[in-house]
Amino acid sequence: MEEKEISQAVISRLPRYFRYLGELKDGGTERISSQELSEIMKVTASQIRQDFNNFGGFGQQGYGYNVEFLYTEIGKILGLHKKHHLVLIGAGNLGQAIANYMNFEKRGFIINGIFDINKDLIGKRVRDIPVRPMEELESFVKEHNVDIGVLAIPKEAAADVAKRLVKCGIHAIWNFAHMDLNVPKDVLVENVHLSDSLMKLSYNINRCGKPEDHK
Ligand code: NAI
């Protein structure tokens, strides 16, 4: 398939398509029209067609989309056909919750190592992965094929740890610390802030009022 620049807006919708198509596939649906998908996903059929056209279509006139094929192709676009190796920094509440969430692994995101500075945590296991001291970070990353660093540490520590990750060759950071990281241009950072999502919800409540206000 020819590579072309895809807008971030389209990319941000792909995981949702992937999820729905996965459910359809698991439920035995072999093909689906953009209209049917639109009804299930509550987005317009033209949006779906436009999004898929970015990747050369996938659909056939009069047939619709082959669910398994579409699922596989979107998975490839999202890079989910390859395994990703992660190190998780911070084995506190959030770090342990991330490490315990098995679904990441099903998608090919393998947590190889967990690191922390807290001596009480070092040596403990989270889902059978030992928590290692930060002194071992560089050698561990070099030995394992790590491509993603996950930051679940206080924001005060995030800049330094990000710098260490980049220095040992990691080019992708999944950042949960509430801090914008200043990294070289070739390093990808994906910030995840649950509070941003909650604030969006708060905005919508504020703008639209509570459901009972409309009765
Ligand atoms: P926590 O205090 O339970 O865990 C933090 C862990 O980081 C501790 O085990 C601590 O020893 C370790 N740590 C501190 N400095 C370190 C360093 N330099 N190197 C390695 N490990 C270090 O805190 P919690 O609740 O797990 O939160 C972790 C971070 O995630 C915080 O920055 C918090 O604000 C953020 N957070 C972000 C969310 C989001 O949606 N983005 C949601 C919840 C928390």
Whole-angstrom Cα distance, residue 66 to residue 58?
8
> 75-127 pLDDT, tens per residue?
998 999 899 999 999 999 999 999 999 788 888 999 999 999 999 999 999 99
Instruction: List domains and CATH numbers for the chain.
Output: 8-77 (1.10.10.10), 84-196 (3.40.50.720)
pLDDT value of position 210: 61
- Nearest residue to 2 via CA among 74, 58, 54, 78: 54
Helix or strand holding residue 86 (H, E):
strand 84-89
From 118, 135, 153, 176, the mutation candidate for ligand 1 (largest count of ligand atoms within 8 A of CB) is 153
Ligand 1 atom closest to Cα of residue 91? 9
pLDDT value of position 1: 47
CA–centroid distance, 90 to ligand 1, in Å, is: 6
Question: Which residues does the chain have with pLDDT short of 70?
Answer: 1-4, 56-61, 209-215
Please list, in sequence order, all residues whose beta carbon lies within 8 angstroms of the beta carbon of residue 172, skipping any fewer than 6 positions away. Answer: 147, 148, 149, 187, 188, 189, 190
Ligand 1 atom closest to Cα of residue 155? 32
CA–centroid distance, 152 to ligand 1, in Å, is: 4
pLDDT value of position 64: 83
Ligand 1 atom closest to Cα of residue 179? 32
Residues with CB under 6 A from ligand 1: 89-95, 115-118, 121, 134, 152-155, 157, 161, 176-178, 192-194
Mean pLDDT, rounded, of the chain: 91
pLDDT value of position 54: 79
**Predicted TM-score (pTM) of this structure:** 0.89
Whole-angstrom Cα distance, residue 66 to residue 185?
38
Closest C-alpha residue for ligand 1 atom 35 = 177
